[in-house]
Amino acid sequence: MIRFRFELRPLAEVAPWGRERANLHWFGLTEGWYWIELGDVCLLKFAADYEIPYVDYYVVRLWEDLLQLLPAALEQVPADLVGFVESDGRGWNDAESEAVDAAMDWWSSRDVYFGYLREPPSLRCWRTGDQITVDWNAPANFAEPRALRTTMSVTDFVAAIEEFDRELLAAMADRIAEAEAIPPVGVELDLDRLRQEHQDRSVWLKRARAYQRSTDWPAVRTGDGQLMSR
């Protein structure tokens, strides 16, 4: 079972945005740290003995990127493209064409974005049958395991994202209420806008689940052949 875990930094310790005029918004109020529990292992944990050994960033970033990933992760990978989606890209041919672009976009859509980290790991997810494969590779700044590939049911994968969504939205509802009761000193905070954005984000998961991908399979297969041929 996979779980997406997080903690929000105490409101009084959240750093405001803006140089000339300190302010905070929904995104900024999610400052905290997060990690992933996958069975009995912990991903996104650093190797160094930090006080907080997990990714210290805005929790909403992981949430947004998982929702961005979800439609692609749930799209069934045809049997003839499993080898392509499982590849790590290092052995690909140096080919250029519209089909190659389509294939690379299709491949990369199953990658959770961590480009905001100095030495980012790779976390990729794809579906075959009723199983989701989770593929993890990380540089030496992360704790073991630095490479892991495992599978789980589609139901369990979706349930974990739904749980993360519920927990983050509940924590942010509490945070908005706290900010309203005890406003941060010297920080501009638009509570009406906060509530409106919170309401809007409450349906993002539903939108992601309802999104229908339109994959150009002939182009992806052609690009696969150009990238993977020997």
Helices (H), 87-126: 98-108
At 186, is the pLDDT very low, low, confident or very high (cuts 50, 70, 90)?
Answer: confident
CA 178 to chain centre: 27
pLDDT 10s digits, 51-79: 999 999 999 999 999 999 999 999 999 99
Is residue 148 within 8 Å of residue 192, measured between CB atoms?
no
CA-based radius of gyration for the chain: 20
Helix, strand or coil, per DSSP, at residue 49: coil
pLDDT 10s digits, 11-49: 999 999 988 889 999 999 999 999 999 999 999 999 999
Question: What's phi and psi for 5, nearest 5 deg?
Answer: -110, 150
Can you name the residues that pair with 7 across neighbouring β-strands? Answer: 33
Helix, strand or coil, per DSSP, at residue 37: strand
**Closest Cα to residue 11, out of 179, 171, 173?**
179
pTM: 0.95
